[in-house]
Chains A and B, each alone.
Chain A
């Protein structure tokens, strides 16, 4: 039966390439061959074409050889006669050509319209999104993605399927309509009022099947940015896709030739197709890990089937709360009109409620595991739409528990609560803010469910250190006010403890090789004063994670003999770096970006780069997509710095590291900062000013630091710095 699929896919590829060619001609006719083209804010050109062929297309004319390549890949059509030639290889090539064609079509849509960003449709994900979301594919918070084509039989089916994907933490990429009905899955979700977007993991790319090229492009960029896959190394890329990006296609409705072609294209990636229609199946394994095409699966069973066919294991622990729980719900926003009520410590305007969240370690005997107590009125006893006080105290006990882990656990409250569908959480400690959706309330969500949820989550994810958990939820405003000073005292004590935690004060650092599955030579060394590049892992996290999973990616590293105090090198740390990077990197400095800087995977929050003329550095974070004085955008720079490379003069790091006393201390520390993108500067300004005053006696350093409003050319910056007399101008040369 695959002869039918082969014939259709090859026909579909011809049709797509034909459209791409015509659209390109049209665009060249309008704009000329030299017209510059790009997908928005990406350093990866047209990522499918770039990753597979290594070609950097930047003008319309440069697409012409790509079209030629597509035509060369297009196989002869499968004969209807009695003897046909082997077609599997042909179909896969036709599919790849179709993907190139689809990328060209979308490129032309960006150039001459129709604009891919239109109504619910989001168009291509830029590199900011890719980095932020890509990391979830690395750490496992997103087990994969479902590429949905067409439309479910009913709106209700669509919502069910989307929710099921979310419950399993999967991303859902949507493109293509069911031609026979003229409707698409994303439109069905929109009709049902389901919140879509990157935050809820439901991403509507476009109404035509071609927009699924953004799904492939996302996967390819993940391979290049996190996986160290070199552009043009298609074999490595596709191996990576098959064994790291666990994606699959759900085809809903009538399968067209162009769908077949696209599905054939991603079979190259090892992504199988599950269809609800009665199309031929391809069951023998080989290109994909298991089956290639499985059909006639009722829409309600498709997801389970797809997970099985892709070889995925997704454990969703059932928690006894009346709503679904999944990281996919973390991004939900709840508008005021939709909220049943809110609970806030984060005060605003004339609201004077109080709130706090606290995790306390107590004796084993003092905890009754699973006990949840609500002190004060429940939700149904509160006024709809009101704002209320909240105090959440989680008491944990365990033989392996240490008081150092309290803040580590406490920080999880945010994502744990947020992962409940219809419950929104922001902030932490005494600036927390919770909203409960009317639907969640209707579904039965009450105050005790905060406790049930937190108990289950802490036991599931921190079971190695936590033997018993009990939760007290305070809603009585007087009680909250009474407990508030104690909470504040606890926070203060913890802050002081962390402030006292210096690199010199500890004997061991922690490794983090979580990203090695993606960047094989990269290894993070996390010290108390140098948190992980991703911003997600502090030294205490490393310590806790090691306790939780002793063979896991975080291992204690004995420092050994200090080789150079100033640049921060220790013999045993260097030995470790050499082994863990498979000898790719021999030495690493904790406090210098010039001499043996730390390597970077792809998930750093910010990059510091040398500005040679200014005798200082610039820092740009990943949310800023404009030009920088280094002559490169963040994404371009990230390609240089990432992938486990050691690039003197450049270093990737977390945002919070900027506020560390050890921030490139060997190279001159925070005094060297000449330029920061504005949003980053504003975020760190207060603490940065205080710190620079404390360390170097400089007042208001941020006044001397340029940003994009001053300019993005080094000469302009230099003039500004000279005018302001930036303190670093008088310092010794950086290198």
Chain B
């Protein structure tokens, strides 16, 4: 028993508070997981079908088909595709909200929102085919007009009747060709989700390859559609992140402050909360109740959003959400959408904490709902929430037990900020990155992303995978809860990171002044990784498609359907993707062979599953080395005479 408890997490704050929960009988996700017993094998293997009510059916040695005759491959593929649809829907619905907020901001209909990054607005306008000719970035009305047009165009991407997603053309030329040849370029975002739901309902698409063709198209509509809209329009509204300092882990809370947690995924409300917690009048209110100030801390991707843009400290990742409340120091936890555990409700009741849901899409039974409607009253409503938290400060009961530990970190890496970081205002480019991949100081790039999962030791797999990658000179880009895990271990500081990185990677990091692991934002910001990969291709010297790059993706502790959508859009963009924990396809021999092998012939990327962190990392490293070999990367010093110099491009 004790042994099992010990491997629940490798995070000391988590273990400290978990011990208290044990003493006080507070039930956490790990405990509920135990009560669940062994997970049903049919579900784990992806061969349980609940699509019609003739079943549920399951595939076993005894019965190789469901009632309708659907085989393991069809059932697993349908389930898998539906996970993609759900994941894509989550990211994309988030993107839609941002587009709507942008439109309101452009029309001046929403207090607290403005166009913060005009350069980015112009850049987005370009790929969204919005004409900026004659428009002046310095003029308010021009900016609003362009923002309005971009917002409308973005909104159109969800339901347009003709054409394809505009952002998909941002991919390298070679990638575009592959998509067109395979006929998977996404059309309207909503349409791709709907079509999955249609094709996977009773008695429609019953060929796993054909199902996955739509699964791919829907996944691409997420990565190169909904998620990209969310990321880019958030940058326009709230500013494109730049490298900044912050702190991470539950130790960020302060006993003498009003502590507020924001949790969920969208920055739309949390941006206003950030604003409100810096409002003089509000701070005066906090003082009145005897608090020295307001400490805001984030959990999950809301944390990542306000970390990236404001340096607001991160309290923890997914599996730490309940533990934040256990500190007894949280006056309010404000949640919006995705990854919010219903279990929070019971724990909040044990403390003075006000748990507040703010999205009309996401209520929790028995929990206070204060819907913030984007519009003229949004900021007022947010201030009320903050005031509620402040007024709750005197109500703390019992001992406050904030763990002592928090770690410094650097975040804020985006396509734009990486360009600047590598060359300043005048020489911004990816050249130094490409050069050092070519010369072998950096062996390759890995994206390590995703969630936490109670089935594996919390943060443990993330850390082992990331450490092994950087020790082998692989530069790691991270988003989501995976990023928070690494940050908590100190790897997102240049100094600590350098100690763990291989000599080549450490040398490059030292030159640039970056950690070997870069925090690139929330899970919708995986779209940033797609753009980064595209930029590396465009910079030259590493082939002409993403699939040729020494690059691999990983989600070591995944649990959400969103991870499946992300995994598939990376595979379909040409990336080798390794998942930890497991994958609900293993009961379907042909479908899993397709995902693990055959799909590579089409897209140049493929899936793999490896729960063991060492083997997981090695799979990625082997892939990276194989790609390097194929590219025949060699660093040669060429000494140029006059004739050779004339050949150089200027």
B interface: dominant SS: helix
The 8 Å CB contact of A3, one of B513, B641, B644, is B513
Residues of B contacting A517 in the complex (Cβ-Cβ under 8 angstroms): 645-646, 650
* Binary per-residue interface labels of chain A (447-472) against chain B in the complex, 1 for a CB within 8 Å, 0 otherwise: 00000000000000000000000000
CA distance A243 to B513 in the complex (A): 26
Write the nearest CB–CB distance from B57 to chain A, whole angstroms.
55
* Binary per-residue interface labels of chain B (221-262) against chain A in the complex, 1 for a CB within 8 Å, 0 otherwise: 000000000000000000000011100000000000000000
Q: Which of B425, B441, B508, B511 has the most CB of A within 10 A?
A: B511
CA distance A315 to B644 in the complex (A): 13
Docked-complex contact B245 and A82, CB < 8 angstroms: no
**A408 within 8 A of partner (CB):** no
Docked-complex contact A243 and B511, CB < 8 angstroms: no
Contacts across chains A and B counted by CB atoms under 8 Å: 138
Q: Which of B410, B425, B431, B648 has the most CB of A within 10 A?
A: B425
Given the known A-B contacts A85-B243, A92-B424, A240-B650, are A311 and B511 also in contact in the complex, defined by CB atoms under 8 Å?
no
A206-265 interface with B by 8 A CB criterion: 227, 234-236, 238-240, 243-244, 246
A78-103 interface with B by 8 A CB criterion: 78, 82-93, 96
Stretch in contact with the other chain, from A285-293, A316-324, A340-348 = A285-293
**A313 within 8 A of partner (CB):** yes
Q: Which residue of chain A has the shortest Cβ distance to B646 in the bound complex?
A: A517
Residues of B contacting A140 in the complex (Cβ-Cβ under 8 angstroms): 641-642
* Binary per-residue interface labels of chain A (1-38) against chain B in the complex, 1 for a CB within 8 Å, 0 otherwise: 11100100000000000000000000000000000000
CA distance A238 to B429 in the complex (A): 12
CA distance A1 to B498 in the complex (A): 12
Residues of A contacting B510 in the complex (Cβ-Cβ under 8 angstroms): 1-3
CA distance A686 to B419 in the complex (A): 62
Docked-complex contact B650 and A88, CB < 8 angstroms: no
Docked-complex contact B646 and A268, CB < 8 angstroms: no
* Binary per-residue interface labels of chain A (507-518) against chain B in the complex, 1 for a CB within 8 Å, 0 otherwise: 000000000010
CA distance A316 to B107 in the complex (A): 69
Q: Which of B436, B439, B510, B644 has the most CB of A within 10 A?
A: B510
CA distance A543 to B426 in the complex (A): 43
Docked-complex contact B425 and A246, CB < 8 angstroms: no
Docked-complex contact B421 and A286, CB < 8 angstroms: no
Residues of B contacting A315 in the complex (Cβ-Cβ under 8 angstroms): 641
CA distance A547 to B518 in the complex (A): 57
Q: Which of A78, A88, A238, A292 has the most CB of B within 10 A?
A: A88
Docked-complex contact B424 and A268, CB < 8 angstroms: yes
Docked-complex contact B424 and A2, CB < 8 angstroms: no
**B408 within 8 A of partner (CB):** yes
Per the CB 8 Å criterion, the residue count for chain A at the interface is: 50
Given the known A-B contacts A236-B650, A284-B435, are A83 and B421 also in contact in the complex, defined by CB atoms under 8 Å?
no
* Binary per-residue interface labels of chain B (83-118) against chain A in the complex, 1 for a CB within 8 Å, 0 otherwise: 000000000000000000000000000000000000
Docked-complex contact B431 and A82, CB < 8 angstroms: no
Docked-complex contact A87 and B513, CB < 8 angstroms: yes
B122-181 interface with A by 8 A CB criterion: none
Residues of A contacting B408 in the complex (Cβ-Cβ under 8 angstroms): 82-83
Docked-complex contact B641 and A235, CB < 8 angstroms: no
B426-441 interface with A by 8 A CB criterion: 426-428, 431-436, 439, 441
Q: Which of A143, A235, A313 has the most CB of B within 10 A?
A: A313
Write the nearest CB–CB distance from B521 to chain A, whole angstroms.
16
**A685 within 8 A of partner (CB):** no
**B423 within 8 A of partner (CB):** yes
Write the nearest CB–CB distance from B425 to chain A, whole angstroms.
5
* Binary per-residue interface labels of chain B (350-385) against chain A in the complex, 1 for a CB within 8 Å, 0 otherwise: 000000000000000000000000000000000000
Docked-complex contact A86 and B514, CB < 8 angstroms: yes
Residues of B contacting A536 in the complex (Cβ-Cβ under 8 angstroms): none
Stretch in contact with the other chain, from B292-300, B319-327, B594-602, B632-640 = B632-640
Docked-complex contact A286 and B640, CB < 8 angstroms: no
**B287 within 8 A of partner (CB):** no
CA distance A627 to B410 in the complex (A): 58
**A52 within 8 A of partner (CB):** yes
**A283 within 8 A of partner (CB):** yes
Write the nearest CB–CB distance from A636 to chain B, whole angstroms.
25
Docked-complex contact A92 and B512, CB < 8 angstroms: no
The 8 Å CB contact of B433, one of A93, A286, A307, is A286
Docked-complex contact B421 and A86, CB < 8 angstroms: yes
Docked-complex contact A286 and B422, CB < 8 angstroms: yes
**B450 within 8 A of partner (CB):** no
Write the nearest CB–CB distance from A11 to chain B, whole angstroms.
15
**B495 within 8 A of partner (CB):** yes
**B346 within 8 A of partner (CB):** no
Residues of B contacting A2 in the complex (Cβ-Cβ under 8 angstroms): 510-511, 513
Given the known A-B contacts A6-B513, A86-B410, are A92 and B427 also in contact in the complex, defined by CB atoms under 8 Å?
yes
Residues of B contacting A73 in the complex (Cβ-Cβ under 8 angstroms): 425
CA distance A163 to B435 in the complex (A): 35
Docked-complex contact B424 and A284, CB < 8 angstroms: no
**A156 within 8 A of partner (CB):** no
Q: Which residue of chain B has the shortest Cβ distance to A518 in the bound complex?
A: B650
Q: Which residue of chain B has the shortest Cβ distance to A52 in the bound complex?
A: B426
* Binary per-residue interface labels of chain B (394-413) against chain A in the complex, 1 for a CB within 8 Å, 0 otherwise: 00000000000000111000
The 8 Å CB contact of A312, one of B432, B512, B640, is B640
CA distance A286 to B649 in the complex (A): 16
The 8 Å CB contact of B432, one of A240, A286, A311, is A286
**B493 within 8 A of partner (CB):** yes
CA distance A85 to B436 in the complex (A): 21
Write the nearest CB–CB distance from B175 to chain A, whole angstroms.
25
B494-549 interface with A by 8 A CB criterion: 494-495, 507-508, 510-514
Docked-complex contact A89 and B495, CB < 8 angstroms: no
Write the nearest CB–CB distance from A248 to chain B, whole angstroms.
13
Docked-complex contact A84 and B648, CB < 8 angstroms: no
**B420 within 8 A of partner (CB):** yes
Docked-complex contact B637 and A244, CB < 8 angstroms: no
**A155 within 8 A of partner (CB):** no
Given the known A-B contacts A3-B513, A83-B245, are A246 and B645 also in contact in the complex, defined by CB atoms under 8 Å?
yes
Write the nearest CB–CB distance from B121 to chain A, whole angstroms.
21
Given the known A-B contacts A240-B650, A284-B432, A285-B432, are A86 and B243 also in contact in the complex, defined by CB atoms under 8 Å?
yes
B453-511 interface with A by 8 A CB criterion: 493-495, 507-508, 510-511
Residues of B contacting A83 in the complex (Cβ-Cβ under 8 angstroms): 245, 408-410, 493-495
Docked-complex contact B639 and A286, CB < 8 angstroms: no
Docked-complex contact B513 and A284, CB < 8 angstroms: no
Residues of B contacting A292 in the complex (Cβ-Cβ under 8 angstroms): 511
CA distance A84 to B243 in the complex (A): 10
The 8 Å CB contact of B426, one of A86, A238, A286, A311, is A238
Q: Which residue of chain A has the shortest Cβ distance to B512 in the bound complex?
A: A88
CA distance A93 to B421 in the complex (A): 10
Residues of A contacting B439 in the complex (Cβ-Cβ under 8 angstroms): 284-285
Given the known A-B contacts A85-B513, A286-B435, are A313 and B639 also in contact in the complex, defined by CB atoms under 8 Å?
yes
Write the nearest CB–CB distance from B454 to chain A, whole angstroms.
32
Write the nearest CB–CB distance from A291 to chain B, whole angstroms.
10
* Binary per-residue interface labels of chain B (191-215) against chain A in the complex, 1 for a CB within 8 Å, 0 otherwise: 0000000000000000000000000
Docked-complex contact A88 and B640, CB < 8 angstroms: no
Write the nearest CB–CB distance from B395 to chain A, whole angstroms.
36
CA distance A3 to B420 in the complex (A): 17
Given the known A-B contacts A238-B427, A286-B433, are A313 and B644 also in contact in the complex, defined by CB atoms under 8 Å?
yes
CA distance A92 to B512 in the complex (A): 11
Docked-complex contact B424 and A286, CB < 8 angstroms: no
Docked-complex contact B513 and A84, CB < 8 angstroms: yes
CA distance A308 to B638 in the complex (A): 9
Residues of A contacting B425 in the complex (Cβ-Cβ under 8 angstroms): 73, 89, 92-93, 96
Q: In the complex, given contacts A83-B495, A92-B423, A311-B637, what are 5 additional A-B residue pairs having Cβ atoms less than 8 angstroms apart?
A: A88-B422, A227-B650, A234-B426, A284-B432, A284-B508
21 A–B pairs (Cβ distance < 8 Å), ordered by A: A6-B513, A85-B243, A85-B410, A86-B421, A86-B512, A86-B513, A87-B512, A238-B426, A243-B648, A243-B649, A282-B511, A284-B435, A284-B436, A284-B439, A286-B434, A287-B427, A311-B640, A312-B639, A313-B640, A517-B645, A517-B646
